[in-house]
Amino acid sequence: MMHSFSIRRCTVAALCLLPLLGQAQQKNQWLISAPAGKQPARIDRTGTTILPNGRFIKPMGRQVTVAPHPYGLVLSPDGNTVVTANSGTSPLSISIIRNIQEAAPAVQQIPPGANSDKGVLASVFMGLAISPSNGGGSANQTVYVAGGQENRVYQFDLATGEPRGFIDCSAKTDSADYTHGYIGDLVLTRDGRTIYAVDQIGFRLVVIDVPSKQVRFSVPVGRYPFGVTLSPDEKRVYVANVGMFAYKPVESLDPNNMAGTALTFPPFGVNSREAREGIKTDSVRVPGLGDPNVPESFSVWTVDVGGATPQVIARTKTGILVGQKLEDIPAVGGASPNSLVATADYVFVSNGNNDCVSVIDARTHAMLNNIFLNPEPRLGNLRGIIPFGLALSPDQKRLYVAEAGINAVGIIDVPTRRVLGHLPVGWFPAKLAVTRDNQLVVSNAKGYGSGPNGGRTFTPGPEGSNIGKLMKGTVSILPIPVDTELARYTQEVITNNFTFQSASASRRTNNPIPNRPGEKASPIKYWVFISKENRTYDEVFGQLATANGDPTIARFGENVSISSRNANTPALSGVSVMPNHLALARQFAVADNFYVDADHSADGHRWLVGTYPNQWVETSTSASYGNNRSMRANSKAPGNLAISGSSSAIYPEDYNEHGSIWDHFDRHRIPYFNFGLGLGLNARLNDRDFKPLGVKYLANFPLPGSLWENSSRMFPVYNTAIPDQFRVDQFIKEAEMRWVKQGKDLPAVMTLRIPNDHGAGERPGDGYPYLHSYMADNDLAIGRVVEYLSRTKYWKNMAIVITEDDSQGGVDHVDAHRSVLLVISPYVKRGYVGSAHYSFGSIFKTFWHTLNTPYLNQYDAGASDLSDLFTDKPDFTPYNAKPVDARLFDPQKALTPLDEKFNWKAVEANSEMDNPAQMIKDSEKLDQELREQKTKKKGKQ
């Protein structure tokens, strides 16, 4: 019988388990901060590791190192072998860990070494299974590996690691074309004869006959199916769908006139009538997205496979519905159900955005309740636990949950459906399994972190200095403690993530930054938040004498030597590459212990707008930077457009329960305006004629909430062929028009994206003869923005925050995540270097404290604010921008101030934000340059 879908509210049982909304922040009883204090990030495998976000990890049990980002894990039937699927930056691989009971298990990497072997494993994504042994032995056992965008399931010999070919999952019927697919999670029947795999972009369940290596059925399921499991009797398959919408191209596009018929701006905001119904005029037709709460979105589908033909028999919504109010705040994002396990009575599904596990009745398919996982009541309803993988104990009495956001494993008692405690593991636990002798095996996608990737004492290994390659994963193998010990381990999880102090014990009287929202009024009324691209601290500020820097890798500092790849371009010496950055650091405040939370630009642009990446974003981002996730031009797959790649925008599938900073501003009536941030959606054209934005849009991707109304139509989006000087011109022009000349108040927050320090190919004819020329362009632009703002009447109540979206473009001697944070204001300490441990959450927390706004999630609530950089004795002296070295960058050639003409043809040549292959090549080139510099210095000595 098909169970009908209906909108439902949380059950009484679910509400009883849900902490009161914002309880901690409404009553302001507690001050929360990062445990690191002033300690820098560090890896300590035998003690306490300090993560870039200021949290600690001290994982239980034994730790086995594997390749980056092991988002998949499977335990062999005999419990002796573990296999992980590693979908991080190339190499894409699997790791076979044998004899896991031994003190030092053997690890085999496939393919071996630091480079991917396309002939062995071209693509891998999360899904794994191991066949049962023949006759009770281990001979001829096979490992099945999901092949991602190759639309295959690969096969390897478990004992030797040798490849055994693959199963092609392509299929084509009269009604559907599955020749392009993306194979994700999979499960194998106990007899080893049938594989059930999800095709994420094909919106289907693939039923594979193993002996014949044939696809028997392709069963349509929901949007972006992510997780799959079997019922104990193997008569039902459960599929978790993480998608909200099915995106489509603009219907009015003319293939013969794409430029003339594409959209000049994203079509709508996500919850608007236009987004639901679409846009139809005489010249434009944009498909609507429909209702976010349809059965296809954020749901679990039950497929009966006991008969001759698989049949979908139920569609169950899980977690909190989009728009559903909890304590008067409507949910912005959907539940993001992602992983499943089943008993005869229940189906459990982890909801990555709601910090809970939903319980479904296996007989009626009804949602019974949500089990919320928050271990700390003082956090109220702030989200950030990110439940991911699930595993049942052999007796099915305990459920284990990978809590990726707090680096822990939650333990749930199945009979009572009650949380018993939490265990500390590595960074971002993803998948887990339980052995027969009651040991827990956990794959930690980020392991211990990256550590440093440059400097005097750093020697690159075979993986080089690329941050993605350095983020080795780990597997934790630990005995499960008895219940009486769980309270102690739970407290350890809490103290690893947060420090609490009574609000009554501390009152800030001599600082313009309140200790908490609502404590007092702040003289800072206007925040300007500027994001840049991909730089580390050391490569810009490594020469600052009063800070923790390494001048040997300050390649964008003072008195440096630079060269070009073009033999006709002369080498330069004695160059000051970014004089404005250095002058601003010396005149205002800079932090030398600030870290980006992101590994790459794609996840960095989520963090930049207060959206912590859930399991969908983390897994797809890692795959993208491994050349393992990309759209295809002629794909018939309904989910093809949603493959994020290196996109610099957030999508409805990414939305956290409480949304982004844009939603938070809107919810609390904070006026804001945006220049270029968050508009880098997929499916767009770049062309010389598309002034002033430089792009046009091809699909019906929405912008978050009110961002559509509050974003500039004059300010260019990301493209390194567009000079940052042009961006500054447009910003000043629009600021004058909107506010200054009219004498109007500025918005409380303005966001700007000034991105050319990302770097790109050398273009001597356009004023960019060196890679460093892009840094000089960016530096002058930053100087001009600060000079302009510091001469307005708003300056006396203003603070400017400048940071990077990620740090993958450079190297650093402390940690590959350490990056740039400049704070500029009359109220900052002059010439000050702040050494408190800061992350992205620190920036937003400081905003909320001055704007009298509650926290958005656990990452801003749990960070340390920027108060140490501020003083109550203002200095209103304006800033004078420094000129650039004309040998390095010619602003006149890049953009004549009175004439906005420049080489728009170059837009097409430099349109991709982060080409993963190019990023790795650039990283390898930097490694070579650093080695050559060290060799030269040793020779001189």
Q: What is the pLDDT of residues 145-167, one digit of tens each?
A: 999 989 999 999 999 999 999 99
- Domain interval for residue 681: 508-612+656-915
Residue 787 shares a structural domain with residue 666: yes
Residue 71 shares a structural domain with residue 181: yes
- 168-176 mean pLDDT: 91
**DSSP code string of 259-276:** HHHSBSS---BTTSHHHH
What's the pLDDT at 4? 38
- How many domains are contained in the chain? 2
Last residue of a domain, one of 449, 471, 500: 500
Residue 746 shares a structural domain with residue 817: yes
Amino acid at the residue 598: A
- 364-380 mean pLDDT: 96
Model pLDDT for residues 286-305, shown as the tens digit of each residue? 999 999 999 999 999 999 99
Cβ atoms 86, 120 nearer than 8 A: no
- 103-118 mean pLDDT: 80
3-state secondary structure of 489: helix
What's the pLDDT at 89? 66
Residue 452 shares a structural domain with residue 553: no
Cβ atoms 666, 705 nearer than 8 A: yes
**What does the chain come to in residues?**
941
Check whether 18 has a pLDDT greater than 50.
no
Question: Look-up: residue for tokens 């059930």?
Answer: 196
- 363-384 mean pLDDT: 96
Last residue of a domain, one of 458, 474, 500: 500
What's the pLDDT at 449? 97
CA 237, CA 189: separation in Å to the nearest integer?
Answer: 11
Instruction: Kindly state whether residue 928 falls inside one of the protein's structural domains.
Output: no
Residue 798 shares a structural domain with residue 679: yes
Q: Who wins on pLDDT, 605 or 204?
A: 204
Residue 197 shares a structural domain with residue 342: yes
pLDDT band at 689 (very low <50, low <70, confident <90, very high): low
Instruction: Kindly state whether residue 39 falls inside one of the protein's structural domains.
Output: no
Pairing assessment for the beta strands 526-532 and 798-804 based on DSSP bridges: parallel
What's the pLDDT at 687? 63
CA 206, CA 286: separation in Å to the nearest integer?
Answer: 31
Instruction: Kindly state whether residue 199 falls inside one of the protein's structural domains.
Output: yes
Model pLDDT for residues 205-260, shown as the tens digit of each residue? 999 999 999 999 999 999 999 999 999 999 999 999 999 999 999 999 999 998 89
pLDDT band at 173 (very low <50, low <70, confident <90, very high): confident
What CATH number corresponds to the domain at position 902?
3.40.720.10
Question: Look-up: residue for tokens 């954020």?
Answer: 298
Looking at every residue in the chain, the average pLDDT score rounds to: 90
Residue 478 shares a structural domain with residue 456: yes
Check whether 117 has a pLDDT greater than 70.
no
| Crossing angle of helices 615-625 and 916-940, rounded to 10° | 60
3-state secondary structure of 848: helix
What CATH number corresponds to the domain at position 65?
2.130.10.10
CA 390, CA 54: separation in Å to the nearest integer?
Answer: 27
Residues 6 or more apart in contact with residue 107 via CB below 8 angstroms: 64, 65, 66, 95, 96, 97, 98
Residue 816 shares a structural domain with residue 771: yes
Residue 553 shares a structural domain with residue 492: no
What's the pLDDT at 930? 58
CA 236, CA 219: separation in Å to the nearest integer?
Answer: 13
Residue 171 has a CB neighbour count (10 Å cut-off) of 20
Instruction: Kindly state whether residue 936 falls inside one of the protein's structural domains.
Output: no
What's the pLDDT at 114? 63
Check whether 900 has a pLDDT greater than 60.
no
Tokens of 766: 């356009």
Residues 6 or more apart in contact with residue 264 via CB below 8 angstroms: 690, 693, 696, 697, 713
Instruction: Kindly state whether residue 617 falls inside one of the protein's structural domains.
Output: no
Closest CA to 431 of 479, 372, 491, 473: 473
Query: What percentage of the chain has pLDDT greater than the value 90?
Result: 77
Last residue of a domain, one of 437, 468, 500: 500
CA 142, CA 131: separation in Å to the nearest integer?
Answer: 5
Residue 399 shares a structural domain with residue 522: no
Closest CA to 107 of 135, 65, 70: 65
Residue 486 shares a structural domain with residue 512: no
Query: In angstroms, how far apart are the furthest CA atoms of the chain?
Result: 84
pLDDT band at 620 (very low <50, low <70, confident <90, very high): confident
Backbone angles phi, psi at 617, to 5 degrees: -70, -45
Model pLDDT for residues 375-407, shown as the tens digit of each residue? 999 999 999 999 999 999 999 999 999 999 999
